[in-house]
Amino acid sequence: MSHLKIEHIEKSYGERSVLKDVSFSVQEGEFVSLLGPSGSGKSTLFRIIGGMTAPLSGAVYLEGEDITGKRGSISYTPQSPSLMPWRTTLQNVLLGQEIVGKKDEEKARDMLERAGLKGYEQAYPHELSGGMKQRASFIRSILSPQSLILLDEPFSALDEFTRLDMQQWLLSIWSEYKRSILFVTHNIEEAIFLSDRIIVLSDRPATVVKEFNIPFDRPRREDLLLTEEFLHWKKLIYQEMRVLNE
Amino acid sequence: MGKVLQKGWRPFLVLVLFFIIWELCTKIFAIPGWLLPAPSQVWLEAIYGWSHYTGHIFSTVQLIIIGFTVGSSIGVLVAVGLHLVPFLRQAFYPLLIVTQNIPIIVLAPLLVIWFGFGMLPKIMVISLVCFFPITISLLDGFRQADRDLNHYMLMAGATKQQIFWKLEWPNALPSLFSGLKISATYSVMGAVISEWLGASKGIGVFMTLASSSFRTDRVFVAILFIVTLSLLFFLVIVLLENMVIKWKSGKEGDNIESP
Ligand SMILES: Nc1ncnc2c1ncn2[C@@H]1O[C@H](COP(=O)(O)OP(=O)(O)OP(=O)(O)O)[C@@H](O)[C@H]1O
Ligand SMILES: [Mg+2]
């Protein structure tokens, strides 16, 4: 049984149709990327999965249970790190647990240490760099009890070097904690490097045009980015995207 | 404290210059004391008459503190109520502005007619000028809570109560303090105005007595006290703010930028 299953989602804002018959699934512990042009409706899809907006038709299933329009089943990491400026790093990463009920400070400290944030537990977000904030924001999701994590372009505001570091770090944490991740990005390389599977969405109204299974072994290392095979995949997906834009 | 001195010398210098020019003008043009007393005269009066003033000051301070506390509590309660109950907001928000359009000078005597010369009408006047800045700034602070964070919390299954206490309330705290600062200064004004209407003690009373007996120097002493009190109250709020809001960014950076 798949972890998350999206079935025939339709959504429109007024006259404008945004999502059209979107269906796909995410397996338990899988890393899936959604790749689509800007404004195609990726964030809208996330809001539907998170129960913030109701679709016109279609359904969202989590572990077989219909969660369409229901909140509290997923953990969402917004595009901006969105830490609370009045909370220390430690308090910030505990927010997800706090909402549900029980706090595990021990584990939070442990995670922060391994994210290179040791010594910053009591620091406020304005004292952290952009990459550190993103890591804290992601730890908040990992520490949350929900088993599905939605990441909306988490690295788009970072520079190339930090981005690479963050991708590696994300993969290492993910392989250890084995959550299912649905990841939105504009960046083809990023999608190939991170994902088990890439779902390509068309421009508005968005539908699933193609799925790619990325066969690279894990753990993946940075030099993968320079291999012939990586470039091959990049070309393949790039062509697919270009057709869409025309 | 060092920072205050460092930044405070410029306005202080301007004030000193102003007083010097004032002093010289009264001397050169031989302006009579009942028309415009020299700053030195005012100063002497303030020092020699001090024992005479303490009772008045004490009574006014007491009034300000009670009025300000009542007014800001009402301000906070109204803001929370209007924020949490959309129906109340739609019904009362426009009326809130109307309360500020009635001149307090007109309303105050009416309050005295209705409620007598006691504490009550005075506290009502102060509350009326105090609550508005607080309510408006708090409402803004509640509404400006980060949208992404709001989405994050909703998707994680947060209740309305959790969103209020964990997101909207802390987010509104800096706005609350902006409102409190404005209200603190207003409350001093409100107290003096309410005392004009009828009281046995207070800076307002003392001021009317002084001006009706052409003791202009005493009027200026009263002004001096009012300004000092306003500044003191303002300072107390700023200190409180620095204690409560530890997360404000830019404090360090500011020092580096300004030479
Ligand atoms: N609340 C709304 N009301 C009306 N239209 C909306 C609303 N939210 C989104 N839209 C429209 O839906 C479309 C898809 O928006 P969405 O934010 O989902 O795109 P996106 O794929 O996330 O884009 P990006 O990659 O730039 O973040 C846009 O054309 C947008 O104008
Ligand atoms: Mg988006």
Of residues A67 and B252, the one with the higher pLDDT is: A67
A52 touches chain B (CB under 8 A): yes
Q: Do B46 and B23 belong together in one domain?
A: no
Best of B152, B168, B169 to substitute, by most chain A Cβ atoms within 10 angstroms, is B152
User: Which residue's alpha carbon is at the smallest distance from atom 2 of ligand 1?
Assistant: A13
pLDDT tens-digit readout, B104-123? 888 888 888 898 888 899 99
- Scanning B148-177 for CB atoms below 8 A from A yields 148-149, 151-158, 162, 166-167, 170-171, 173
Q: What is the DSSP string of B96-141?
A: HHHHHHS-HHHHHHHHHHHHTTSHHHHHHHHHHHHHHHHHHHHHHH
Residue B113 domain-assigned? Answer: yes
When pLDDT is cut at 50, 70 and 90, the band that residue B256 belongs to is: very low
Q: Do B54 and B154 belong together in one domain?
A: yes
Residue A4, both tokens: 């998350």
Q: Do B169 and B75 belong together in one domain?
A: yes
pLDDT tens-digit readout, A105-160? 898 998 898 888 889 999 999 999 888 998 899 899 888 888 899 999 888 878 88
In 3D, which of A168, A134, A151, A141 has the Cα closest to residue A26? A151
User: Residue A40: is it exposed, middle or buried by C-beta count within 10 angstroms (0-12/13-18/19+)?
Assistant: buried
Percent of chain A's residues with pLDDT above 90: 42
Q: From the CA of A34, which ligand is nearest?
A: 1
Q: Do B110 and B220 belong together in one domain?
A: yes
The predicted pLDDT at position B169 comes to: 96
Instruction: For residues B226-249, give the mean pLDDT.
Output: 90
Of residues B253 and B26, the one with the higher pLDDT is: B26
Of residues B252 and B186, the one with the higher pLDDT is: B186
pLDDT tens-digit readout, B140-176? 999 999 998 999 999 999 999 999 999 999 999 999 9
- Report CA dihedral (A126, A127, A131, A133) to the nearest 10 degrees: -50
When pLDDT is cut at 50, 70 and 90, the band that residue B1 belongs to is: low
Q: Do B25 and B46 belong together in one domain?
A: no
Rg (chain A; Cα; Å): 18
When pLDDT is cut at 50, 70 and 90, the band that residue B253 belongs to is: very low
When pLDDT is cut at 50, 70 and 90, the band that residue B3 belongs to is: low
Query: To test the ligand 1 pocket, which listed residue (A15, A40, A245) has its Cβ within 8 A of the most ligand atoms?
Result: A40
pLDDT tens-digit readout, A76-90? 888 888 899 999 999
Q: Do B17 and B112 belong together in one domain?
A: no
Residue B169 domain-assigned? Answer: yes
Residue of B151, B157, B246 with shortest CB distance to A99: B157
A172 touches chain B (CB under 8 A): no
Residue ranges per domain, chain A?
4-74+146-245, 83-142
Q: How many structural domains compose chain B?
A: 2
Tell which atom from ligand 1 comes closest to the C-alpha of A53.
1
The predicted pLDDT at position B168 comes to: 95
Best of A83, A86, A120 to substitute, by most chain B Cβ atoms within 10 angstroms, is A86
Residue B36 domain-assigned? Answer: no
User: Is ligand 1 within 6 A of the CB of residue A17?
Assistant: no
Q: Do B186 and B212 belong together in one domain?
A: yes
The predicted pLDDT at position A146 comes to: 87
Instruction: For residues A32-49, give the mean pLDDT.
Output: 90
pLDDT tens-digit readout, B179-212? 999 999 999 999 998 888 778 889 999 999 898 9
Assessment of whether the complete model's pTM goes beyond 0.90: no
Residue B33 DSSP one-character state: T
Instruction: For residues B242-247, give the mean pLDDT.
Output: 89
Q: Do B69 and B150 belong together in one domain?
A: yes
When pLDDT is cut at 50, 70 and 90, the band that residue B11 belongs to is: confident
Q: Do B61 and B175 belong together in one domain?
A: yes
Q: Is B148 close to A50, i.e. CB distance below 8 A?
A: no
Q: Do B24 and B77 belong together in one domain?
A: no
The predicted pLDDT at position B252 comes to: 44
Q: Do B122 and B249 belong together in one domain?
A: yes
pLDDT tens-digit readout, A186-219? 889 999 999 999 999 988 788 898 899 988 888 8
Q: What is the DSSP string of chain A?
A: --SEEEEEEEEEETTEEEEEEEEEEE-TT-EEEEE--TTSSHHHHHHHHTTSS--SEEEEEETTEE-TT--SSEEEE-SS----TTS-HHHHHTHHHHHHS---HHHHHHHHHHTT-TT-TT--GGGS-HHHHHHHHHHHHHHSS-SEEEEESTTTTS-HHHHHHHHHHHHHHHHHH--EEEEEES-HHHHHHH-SEEEEEPSSSB-EEEEEE----SS--GGGGGSHHHHHHHHHHHHHHHHHH-
Output B98-103 pairs: Cβ under 8 A, ≥24 positions apart: B99/B128, B99/B132, B100/B132
The highest-level CATH class for domain A4-74+146-245 is alpha beta
Residue B121 domain-assigned? Answer: yes
- Cα A216 to ligand 2 centroid, rounded to whole Å: 27
**Residues B158 and A99 sit within 8 Å (Cβ to Cβ):** yes
Q: Do B27 and B92 belong together in one domain?
A: no
The predicted pLDDT at position B258 comes to: 36
- Write out the residue range of the structural domain in which residue B11 sits: 1-31
Q: Over 90: is that where the pLDDT of A184 sits?
A: yes
